[in-house]
């Protein structure tokens, strides 16, 4: 009596089967995964990255250096990020010293940081699209517009958060003054 292969063995057979090829067709068969791709192929494996093997503090050190470099480039090259950073320099101290609960304080500060994070992501999308091609293309425009819309949503969240939390305090202070 012949033993039936297990479910696991069947799935391994499905995973490791050879790619379909028919010698009668004019279509070039796809190379076997073990065969190297051509150097001109955009899907060819990337060259060895010396930073990928780093672990622990070395990896953290390189990550911190890259992050600080990203901040420097954003401050130097992106005027919108500079404007939002100036706004954050005003709002963060106000958010720390305004007399609200710790949860409300966290919401105020998080809304400001959200704007900065989304702006950095938008700038990275724009840089990647410009790196690919500077010619006008509908998909490039759409991606940049999506990033801009994300920044607008983050700004609206910030304005609503500050308006709902600090607005009533400002209203009470204004009534006390007049």
State the binding site for a divalent metal cation: 78, 126
Rg over CA atoms, the chain: 27
As annotated, the binding site for ATP includes 59, 78, 126, 135-137, 144-145
Which of 118, 104, 107 lies closest to 154 in space, CA to CA?
118
Which of 169, 165, 170 lies closest to 104 in space, CA to CA?
165
Is there a catalytic annotation at residue 119? yes
C-alpha distances (whole Å) from 96 to each of 93, 99, 107, 116, 127 are 5, 8, 11, 18, 34
As annotated, the binding site for substrate includes 59, 80-84, 105, 119, 148
As annotated, the binding site includes 59, 78, 80-84, 105, 119, 126, 135-137, 144-145, 148
Is 161 within 8 Å of 108 (Cβ atoms)?
A: yes
Chain centroid to CA 22: how far?
Answer: 43
Sort 87 into a burial class: Cβ within 10 Å, 0-12 / 13-18 / 19+.
middle
Catalytic residue among 28, 35, 77, 119: 119
Which residues are within 8 A (CB) of 132 and not within 5 positions of it... i.e. 6 or more apart?
A: 140
Catalytic positions are 119
């Amino acid at each position: 009596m012949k033993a039936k292969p297990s479910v696991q063995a069947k799935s391994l057979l499905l995973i490791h089967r050879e790619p379909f090829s028919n010698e009668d067709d004019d279509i070039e068969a796809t190379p076997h995964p073990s065969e190297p791709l051509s150097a001109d192929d955009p899907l060819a494996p990337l060259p060895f990255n010396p930073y990928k093997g780093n672990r622990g503090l070395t990896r953290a050190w390189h990550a911190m250096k890259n992050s600080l470099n990203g901040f420097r480039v954003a401050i130097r090259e992106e005027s919108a990020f500079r404007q939002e950073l100036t706004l954050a320099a005003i709002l963060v101290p106000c958010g720390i010293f305004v007399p609200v609960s710790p949860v409300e304080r966290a919401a105020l500060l998080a809304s400001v940081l959200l704007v900065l994070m989304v702006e950095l992501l938008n700038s990275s999308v724009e840089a990647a699209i410009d790196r690919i091609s500077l010619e006008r293309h509908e998909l490039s425009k759409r991606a940049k517009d999506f990033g801009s819309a994300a920044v607008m949503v983050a700004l609206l969240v910030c304005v609503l958060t500050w308006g709902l939390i600090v607005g009533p305090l400002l209203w009470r202070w204004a009534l006390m003054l007049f």
